A and B are shown apart, each in its own frame.
Chain A
């Protein structure tokens, strides 16, 4: 029999309102919301917000294939510490997630770790090579409903059209990493004045915008559902805004780093700031924030991308792009995102749960008979990253030395605490 858990003294935040009350959890479900509740495990939530656990649409867990950077277990633990109860695992593993065998493996590893719901995404094209379609129907039958070639965009327009048509028939969502590869050869950072001074090949904004535009039009003629990964430029936001006005079935996400860090940081030659799509200008950041406020952007997703230390120690042009994100997402969003807490939670939990189609278990209201996937966080706590204490196997976080605001105190996954007082329980 599982122990009962009571969250005491916090402020419950649901989509329809706030409430100061305790929460009692038993057998994976919230059983009671009220005053002065008692239980086997009592978690102090004074000063904290109690809300549904976060859902990350975009995490690279590196297993199978690059376990020295991260494993599904260490990535899940990092997620739990960041308040996440579900992670969509990106398919650029080795072997890639384009077969049922790999999908089942990833799901099983997630269950074995038992810290978050690991939701494997599938590839759009076989091997992410961009040449032929992956067996999407087979993967959908194995429970996959989110497909992407993330790391690459699908370059061939007619192949993308076929993929969207096929996806519409299956009722699954395709997610695009928008990058026209021909325009970004050798690029290290955003194409801007800083890039000119450094003599580096640049990643121009249009390399992203051209594909955003293309895919919006392909959605228009195919009617399939599309999700744009990690948008980074002002014009991308404008394009998506117009598409939504036209009623197209499109959603979009932005990362915490694209809301808080600018391209000029690359002048330090520190490859921790190298990421794909690259950090952009403060004008782009402003436009992305407006996009969050007016609903153009639906979710904040981390694009958690661990890399071993020696890979990131390479020269700027050779180092792989990517940053950690799971453990710092909340702290970055509240410190730099210019968002109300309720809006932040919507972007971290309720909306992504819907987009990932896990809103039967995640992003739920805190109420009796609801599944107990809960995050308890202190929205005012200032803290900074300690590389020694990260749960991730890698240390490529760009937030070392910066003060973040907002930290997860407890996380409950399927009724059991995975994090208590900021410490992982397993």
Chain B
């Protein structure tokens, strides 16, 4: 797939409808992979993953209406590995109103990039208990991994340049190519 983006102009790679369909598909994949929803819990990463986590959970609960799968939100700022190197501002508060121990936790984020946020999230989860398993669902995988992290469920694979800007909302996913000499 070729990206024909003009410099500094956002280019849409997923429409709102594409996003919605991807979420539905991911919800089915999660249920299929885990042979049902027993012990399942969804945790969205602040801030980009929480709306997706909510949407996936809603979808799962519609598909399998017998039991409600719980959803929570995790702020990973305090577990990052670049504290003291770059300014850190804390996002919204973590809210995990259920016990994770023994659960299969599906972490949800909007864009998977270097993998450092997910590493921080896995460490953060440890504060709340010991999950039976952790799986990863992302709307976009844009490559350029710096750690051995791989997603279990992907909305779309998107090859990018390292300094491109990718933004994902329920209205769609956009990529903006940044001029490298602007660094």
- Direct interface between A and B, CB < 8 A: no
By a beta-carbon cutoff of 8 Å, the part of chain A in contact with chain B is none
